[in-house]
Amino acid sequence: MRNISIETSTHGRVLIKDAGVSPSDARFLVGFHGYAQNAEDMLAELDHLSNRNAWTLVSVQALHRFYLRGDERIVASWMTRQDRELAIADNIVYIDRVVRSLVAEAPQAPVVFVGFSQGVAMAYRAGVLGAHRPRGVIAIGGDIPPDVKTSPSNKFPPILVTAGESDRFYPQAKVEADEAFLRSAGVQFDVFRYQGGHEWTDPLRERIDQALDQIIRDRPTL
């Protein structure tokens, strides 16, 4: 038996909520949802942020769609173990095209990537391996993928690592491992732990608002 991989084109789904500002004032907050979620789920979370009106909200849906078991809702996954390296490459090209379309009329506009759960890996990949350097990456409940850790430290934008204190998918040991890696690599970062599990909470939203406000004020830290 032979196994071959055939490259083909496909279409991704992206939801955009415009901020209603001129291109000179444009800012893009690009979100990546978790496993078995969809673009609507992530857009709804971004839309709960207090300073959401200052940003064009962009929710990118993963390419691999499926029906949620026992439900008619269509959800998606970023990848599986099968052909993982090819899926990573496909996803990076996908996100690069999304960002290129966003900044076509505003090439200097700040871009921030925010990922939740499985989407955290995509936020890191987009921010470190992608063609467009963002102003920051906000990671919620997910660790730095191994393929990103091999990148030179100057490829990393400022990072905000966040995790619930009782998050079983991103426990304290993984947070500390990521913190140690970022410190050893000389990457600018901050870690925020909040009461809760693998979820969004009001204190988390407040910390994200603070990070976005720093970017609006043109400050280098998250």
Q: Name the β-bridge partners of 190.
A: 160
The token pair that represents 100 in the structure block: 């290129």
Partnered with residue 189 across adjacent β-strands are: 159
Model pLDDT, residue 70: 81
Mean pLDDT of 190-211: 97
> What domains are there in the chain, each with its CATH number?
14-159 (3.40.50.1820)
pLDDT at 22: 81
Distances (CA, A) of 168 to 6, 43, 117, 178, 207: 37, 24, 11, 16, 21
Instruction: Write down the pTM of the prediction.
Output: 0.96
What was the pLDDT predicted at 23?
A: 78
Residue 131 has what DSSP assignment? S
Phi-psi region of 192 (alpha: psi -120 to 50; beta: other; left: phi over 0): beta
What are the tens digits of pLDDT across the range 59-105?
Answer: 999 999 999 888 889 999 999 999 999 999 999 999 999 999 999 98
Give the residues across from 21 on adjacent strands.
none
User: Rounded distance, CA 151 to CA 121, Å?
Assistant: 14
The CB density around residue 35, as the number of other CB atoms within 10 Å, is 15
Give the count of alpha carbons within 13 A of 218, CB side only: 3
The first and second tokens of residue 121, run together, are: 């890996």
